[in-house]
């Protein structure tokens, strides 16, 4: 209490000055329309600037949440596409035009974010922020909005390693969209934007600009997922097959969000493969 009294005695003139100054400004803005309008305009501009800054800051922090929501929504929409389903009718030829065939879900998608990536090595690997606890398993395919990305090769609880298309060990069954002729697609090991497609017979019509998509012959990817565009076609006189250079539709240098593909029929197909292999030995 004594200190408070001393403070008031010591600074009473300053406080009186500030009080009178504030009262003077009040009278000026109260009595003068010009000064009142000027004060209101200035205060509104200041408030607007403060609220805009606040909005920018909050929008920045909510941006990741919004992105995650949009990617999850895209994954759900992708699962609704016809390429993610198959006909469950026993006799598909008995269906009439007025009756829609029964479609069964085959592929579902898990959104994930790329947290590490490489494109300049011979065997490039990228990492995503989803693992076994989120339903990711070994040998799942990975795609993005523009096309195929690779295959899951290792999984921890919350992260997964993905063998990129830009890996010399990666191969996928691909086809020419316009005529369904298929072959193996693999990385050339030189350019991060191109790959090679082999085992295309010479009689197959294929030209620059043709679209290359997934064949659907594996459990990695649904049929008709975009892979790229034909850049060049080469053939050798003494060989029956052509070599097709493909410009990849996926830009591996700016990958952000991806989708991990789960084939709901994979275990059934794998069991059938095992039985068939044993029977043919």
Question: What per-residue confidence (pLDDT) applies to 51?
Answer: 45
Q: Do residues 249 and 227 make contact, with C-beta atoms less than 8 angstroms apart?
A: yes
List average pLDDT for each run of 10 residues in the chain, which is 281 residues long: 72 77 69 56 52 55 60 67 61 43 84 93 94 94 95 95 96 95 92 93 94 93 96 88 95 92 88 79 66
Please name the residues in contact with 179: beta carbons below 8 A apart, sequence gap of 6 or more: 204, 205, 206
Rounded distance between C-alpha atoms, residue 272 and residue 199, angstroms = 26
User: pLDDT value at position 272?
Assistant: 85
Q: How far apart are CA 146 and CA 251, in angstroms?
A: 8
β-bridge partners, 167 = 123
Number of H helices, E strands in the chain: 3, 14
3 state SS of 238? coil
| DSSP state letters, 175-205 | EETTT--EEEEEE-SS-TTEEEEEEEETTS-
> What are 226's two structure tokens?
């975009």
Tokens standing for 129?
A: 């922020």
Closest by alpha carbon to 85, among 116, 63, 108?
Answer: 108
Contact 87, 100 (CB under 8 A): no
State the number of CA atoms in the 13 A half-sphere of 264 facing the CB. Answer: 11
Q: Which residues neighbour 252 within 8 Å (Cβ) at sequence distance 6 or greater?
A: 117, 119, 124, 149, 164, 165, 166, 192, 193
Q: Is the dihedral of CA 70, 74, 80, 86 positive or negative?
A: negative
pLDDT of residue 232: 95
**Residues whose CB falls within 8 Å of the CB of residue 173, separated by 6 or more in sequence, listed in order:** 182, 183, 184, 185, 214, 215, 216, 217, 218
* pLDDT reported for residue 90: 45
């Amino acid at each position: 209490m004594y200190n408070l009294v001393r403070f008031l005695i010591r600074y009473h003139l300053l406080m009186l000055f500030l009080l009178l100054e504030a009262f003077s400004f009040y009278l000026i803005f109260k009595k003068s329309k010009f000064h009142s309008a000027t004060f209101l305009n200035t205060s509104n501009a200041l408030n607007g600037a403060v609220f805009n800054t606040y909005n920018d800051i909050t929008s920045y922090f909510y941006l990741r949440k919004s992105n995650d929501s949009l990617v999850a929504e895209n994954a759900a929409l992708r699962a609704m596409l016809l390429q993610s389903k198959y006909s469950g009718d026993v006799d598909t030829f008995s269906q009439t035009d007025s009756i829609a065939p029964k479609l069964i879900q085959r592929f579902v998608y898990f959104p994930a974010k790329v947290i590490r990536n490489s494109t300049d090595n011979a065997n490039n690997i990228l990492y995503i922020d989803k693992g076994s606890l989120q339903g990711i398993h070994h040998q799942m395919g990975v795609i993005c909005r523009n096309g195929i990305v690779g295959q899951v090769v290792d999984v921890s609880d919350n992260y997964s390693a993905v063998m990129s298309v830009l890996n010399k060990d990666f191969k996928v069954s691909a086809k020419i969209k316009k005529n369904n002729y298929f072959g193996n697609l693999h990385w050339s090991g030189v350019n991060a934007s191109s790959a090679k497609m082999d085992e295309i017979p010479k009689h197959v019509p294929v030209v620059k600009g043709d679209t290359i998509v997934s064949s659907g012959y594996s459990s990695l990817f649904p049929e008709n997922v975009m892979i790229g565009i034909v850049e060049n076609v080469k053939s050798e006189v003494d060989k029956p097959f052509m070599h097709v250079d493909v410009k990849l539709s996926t830009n591996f240098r700016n990958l952000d969000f991806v989708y991990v593909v789960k084939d709901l029929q994979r275990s059934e197909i794998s069991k059938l493969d095992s039985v068939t292999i044993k029977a043919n030995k």
